[in-house]
Chains A and B, each alone.
Chain A
């Protein structure tokens, strides 16, 4: 086993441990935890299975194996960013409703 492989495995396992801790402490919602666990599992898989990347690249018809990593990673990041934008929009909407309700209730309290 080569040095870089050892480092990759240790870092990936550490990452998985950290995510597990975040979930355990309730600091990460399950829906996000799910995505992060999948990412970590992928990292660990390819850390152990070194030829895996070349095999996958051949499967998709990618000549340079690292390009598959970049393409895949950038696409996943874009999808995730879109998801976050949707989440922010939804939060903004509920934030607005909450603020309006608070303002209206404060006014009602004055006369109660």
Chain B
């Protein structure tokens, strides 16, 4: 079983070393072969230099693509290099990489194509702000209508994909704020999606990509994105 841990990173010099070390620790402890694949999204800090000194695959993007394009690069790598499974672990250290083996077991037991690590099933750990939770509920509701998936944490990027799902996202993945829209892409290709309860941490350093002013834009962009994604999937089928 070959697992690729896809880590998108934009200016994450404070977190990246710890994230990659944790993945190596998990790999050693569980005996599962987990390869960290770091995608440097044209960082302006020392992320690339740090990553080059670490034991990981480094994909250096020549221009900044944003989270969607960066993650997709990792997925393409994982698919082409014949990994069985890819799991997205954000470069800010919020995602508990120690749970990768649990996600893997869940994926095999539930025979799912996609496992989503969710903060809101047992409501432990970092729960985000009220405003953000409301936004996430709205996206979950909207995506639920169009896909039938009952995903509570629709913006969670902590996701594990098998090869069937990888083949889909290699050619079709949204650009910015991709997580809620990706649900519609999964649904279009009839992938089986299961949520798995995890606890997330508050980011340990660096800055979030979504500031308060972007929140409003984010709401509209993703809402429209979901609607267009739905229309597109109906028209082409």
Give, as a whole number of angstroms, the nearest-CB distance from B100 to chain A.
22
**Chain A residues with CB below 8 A from B59, complex form:** 103-104, 106-107
The residue that B76 contacts in the complex, of A92, A104, A106, with Cβ under 8 A, is A104
Q: For A102, give the chain B residue with the smallest CB separation.
A: B62
Q: For A92, give the chain B residue with the smallest CB separation.
A: B175
Q: Does A67 contact B (CB under 8 A)?
A: no
**Chain B residues with CB below 8 A from A92, complex form:** 175
**Chain A residues with CB below 8 A from B69, complex form:** 96, 99-100
Q: Does B155 contact A (CB under 8 A)?
A: no
Q: Does A95 contact B (CB under 8 A)?
A: yes
Name the interface residues of A30-55: CB closer than 8 Å to any CB of B. Answer: none
Expressed in whole angstroms, the Cα–Cα distance for A96 and B42 within the complex equals: 13
Q: Does B63 contact A (CB under 8 A)?
A: yes
Contact with A along B168-187 (1 / 0, CB 8 A): 00000001000000000000
**Is B76's CB under 8 angstroms from A95's CB?**
no
Name the interface residues of B58-92: CB closer than 8 Å to any CB of A. Answer: 58-63, 65, 69, 72-73, 76-77, 80
Contact A103/B39 with A96-B65, A96-B69, A96-B175 known, Cβ cut-off 8 Å: yes
Expressed in whole angstroms, the Cα–Cα distance for A102 and B42 within the complex equals: 13
**Is A95's CB under 8 angstroms from B63's CB?**
yes
**Chain A residues with CB below 8 A from B62, complex form:** 99, 102-103
Contact A100/B76 with A107-B57, A107-B58 known, Cβ cut-off 8 Å: yes
Name the interface residues of A1-35: CB closer than 8 Å to any CB of B. Answer: none
**Chain A residues with CB below 8 A from B175, complex form:** 92, 96
Contact A99/B77 with A107-B57, A107-B58 known, Cβ cut-off 8 Å: no
Q: For A110, give the chain B residue with the smallest CB separation.
A: B58
**Chain A residues with CB below 8 A from B65, complex form:** 96, 99-100
**Chain B residues with CB below 8 A from A99, complex form:** 61-63, 65, 69, 73
Please give me the 5 A-B residue pairs with the lowest Cβ-Cβ distance, nearest first.
Answer: A103-B59, A100-B73, A103-B61, A96-B69, A99-B63
Excluding A100-B76, A107-B58, 18 further A-B contacts by CB distance (< 8 Å) are A92-B175, A96-B65, A96-B69, A99-B61, A99-B65, A100-B61, A100-B72, A100-B73, A102-B61, A103-B59, A103-B60, A103-B62, A104-B76, A104-B80, A106-B59, A106-B60, A107-B59, A107-B77
